[in-house]
Amino acid sequence: DYELCEEWGHLYPVPREDLINLHREHLLHLLEMGDMEKALQLLQRIEDPGICLAISEQSLDQSPNLAASHFLADYLTGHFYANLTTARRNEIQALYMGSKVLLTLPELSRVNYFHLSSRPLLMLEQLLMNMKVDWVAVAVRTLHQLLAGQEIGFTVEDIDNLLSKYAEKALNFPFAIKEKRS
């Protein structure tokens, strides 16, 4: 049905907002089905870059599933980096990094941290508080790789400071250890 509507849009004038809504719903449907290749083809078929940007941003704002969020954040960063405001760019890049970190976690645990996908530092802190040290190690490596040479609102130093803060708390004992005398 989406493809029929798209063909109709080529034959008859369709208001811009209706065209954006049609393509957005089609894109979200394809992403929900996990068909990233067709989703990319759909975006490439859209000739007007303004419409393509609007569709991509609106789709991302509807908080699709993890794979869809990752795809859309990557697409927006790759194709419309210059068209985005600095704040929006940082937001999308943080979502891309957060979704990348989520993809490194065990599949069954991702749902517990999905709400933090746009806040990678907070996700890292949550993993630390939940004592998921092995997951934190993988997440930190992933973030270090992704942050190399990028400016997105937080830095490698922020990650290191967070790790130092929790390492210090882990070594902080609220009571004095008494020696046993034999």
pLDDT-above-70 percentage for the chain: 92
Give 15's pLDDT tier (boundaries 50, 70, 90).
confident
Which tokens sit at 92?
């999308």
User: Is 48 found in the same domain as 62?
Assistant: yes
User: Is 102 found in the same domain as 74?
Assistant: no
CA distances from 94 to 62, 89, 119, 120 (A): 16, 8, 6, 7
User: Is 95 found in the same domain as 48?
Assistant: no
User: Is 44 found in the same domain as 1?
Assistant: yes
User: Is 154 found in the same domain as 112?
Assistant: yes
Longest dimension (CA), the chain: 94
Q: Which domain holds residue 15?
A: 1-84
- Residue 42 inside a domain? The answer is yes
Among the candidates 31, 53, 84, a domain finishes at: 84
- Rounded to an integer, the average pLDDT of 174-181 is 65
Measured CA to CA, the distance from residue 66 to residue 74 in angstroms comes to 12
pLDDT in tens, 134-169: 898 999 988 888 887 666 777 788 888 888 888 887
User: Is 89 found in the same domain as 115?
Assistant: yes
Q: What residues have CB less than 8 Å from 119, skipping those under 6 apart?
A: 94, 98
Residue 11: per-residue pLDDT: 81
Q: How many domains does the chain have?
A: 2
User: Is 16 found in the same domain as 80?
Assistant: yes
Residue 59: per-residue pLDDT: 92
Give 173's pLDDT tier (boundaries 50, 70, 90).
low
- Residue 180 inside a domain? The answer is no
- Residue 153 inside a domain? The answer is yes
User: Is 91 found in the same domain as 167?
Assistant: yes
pLDDT in tens, 75-115: 998 899 888 888 888 888 888 888 889 988 998 988 898 88
User: Is 66 found in the same domain as 54?
Assistant: yes
Q: Are 103 and 77 in contact (CB under 8 A)?
A: no
- Residue 176 inside a domain? The answer is no
Whole-number mean pLDDT of the chain? 85
Whole-structure pTM value: 0.76
Among the candidates 53, 84, 115, a domain finishes at: 84
User: Is 68 found in the same domain as 117?
Assistant: no
Nearest C-alpha neighbor of 127 from the set 154, 152, 97, 105: 105
Measured CA to CA, the distance from residue 37 to residue 34 in angstroms comes to 9
Residue 14: per-residue pLDDT: 82
Among the candidates 27, 57, 84, a domain finishes at: 84
Which has more pLDDT, 45 or 63?
45
- Residue 57 inside a domain? The answer is yes
- Rounded to an integer, the average pLDDT of 14-42 is 89
- Residue 161 inside a domain? The answer is yes
Q: What is the DSSP letter of 176?
A: P
